[in-house]
Each structure stands twice: as C-alpha cells, then as structure tokens.
Amino acid sequence: MQYPEPIAQLIDSYTKLPGIGQKSATRLAFFTLGMDEEDVTGFAQALIAAKRDLHFCSICGNITESDPCVICADPTRDQTEVLVVEQAKDVMAMENTREYHGLYHVLHGVLSPLEGKGPDDINIASLVTRLQTNEAITEVIVATNANSEGEATAMYLSRLLKPAGIKVTRLAHGLAVGSDIDYADEMTLIKAVEGRTEL
C-alpha cells in the first residue's frame, strides 16, 4: 500500500535531513500531521525565514542576519586572535563558554581526500586574505575536531600560516572532566599527555 502523495512527499523531505532514515522520516511525517495547523505554519515559516534571511559573514564566514556579523563588528573583541572552527555551530559552542573573547573564522568543512575535499573546497583562501590585510591578528587558534580530518586540516593550516610569521596554536585535547583514565582510548591519552599543563 502506498501513502497518499502529500504524505509521501513529506516523508521524502524528512529523509533529506542528516541522520533521518525512512522509519524516522515516516514517524516525523505522521507526527507533523498530528500537529495543530498553527504550529505547522509556524514551523514552515521558520524554515523559510532561516533560508531567506540568513547568509554568511563576508569576513569570518559565520551565519548572520547582518554583514559583518555581530562578532566581527564588535570593537571590544580581542582583535589579535582568530579561532578557526569547522562549522558555524562551533562558534556558538565556544561563545557559550564565555571564556573566549577573540574573533572567529568558519571553514565550512575540513580537508578530506576520501571525499574529494581539498583546500579550495573549504573557506581557507578568505582566511589567508584576512591575515594578509589585517596586521592586528597575531595568533590563529585551530579548533577543528580531534579526528583524522580535523588533524589534517590543523596541520595544513599550520604549514600554510607559520611561514608568514603568524603564531598557530591548537586547542588542547585530552581527558574530559569527570572521566576515568581506564575508560579513555589510546589517542585521548596521548593527546592528554601532550597537552599537559604545569600546576
């Protein structure tokens, strides 16, 4: 038995979301059918508004309504540091710590030869241009994820930027607060030892 066309289209739309398979999409579609029409309309309008009203900051690549974004436009931020992250959502994660007060640069991905992603496929060229035109920046902090692609991207950025006299640092990796050493994997322990600090 086939679903009526509107439900089938809704299921198909949900399957386009990451991590949503056919079963989850079907559940979401039927959940949507059970929602009040006002809630469904609000949901649809939120999707359209997000797509229509948001764009990337011309300086850092973060998602924004205005250009430049509020972080790049804020003169009270530390203008000497740029923290490089993989995705725009990582900016919000860092901002939620309330500990970092510098600038950001969003790569919109990482180097991944297996997926055919090279330096030209992510937002590296604008970072280089930014560093060449802004002499106030003295340090680039690489905050890519601690996986093979993130590490490869960090190494690439280091080799690319260090010859220009820019200090390139990497966020420390290691044991999570509250974790037990005997449950940590080998790479986590290696990074914890490498990133040790003096007490």
Q: What pLDDT sits at residue 199?
A: 55
Separation CA 63–CA 70 (nearest Å): 10
Greatest CA separation found in the chain? 67
Q: What pLDDT sits at residue 118?
A: 92
Query: For strand 103-106 and strand 139-142, is the pairing parallel, antiparallel, or unpaired?
Result: unpaired
pTM for the complete prediction?
Answer: 0.82
Which CATH architecture does the domain made up of 76-174 adopt?
Answer: 3-Layer(aba) Sandwich (3.40)
Q: What pLDDT sits at residue 197?
A: 61
Burial class (CB in 10 A: 0-12, 13-18, 19+), 199: exposed
pLDDT tens digit at each of 199 positions of the chain: 789 999 999 999 999 999 999 999 999 999 999 999 999 999 999 999 999 999 999 999 999 999 999 999 999 999 999 999 999 999 999 999 888 999 999 999 999 988 999 999 999 999 999 999 999 999 999 999 888 899 999 999 999 999 988 999 998 877 777 777 777 778 778 777 777 766 5
Q: What pLDDT sits at residue 177?
A: 74
The amino acid at residue 45 is Q
Domain spans in the chain, listed from the N-terminal domain onward: 5-53, 76-174
Tokens linked to 63: 């998602």
Which CATH architecture does the domain made up of 5-53 adopt?
Answer: Orthogonal Bundle (1.10)
Peptide bond into 18 cis (omega under 30): no
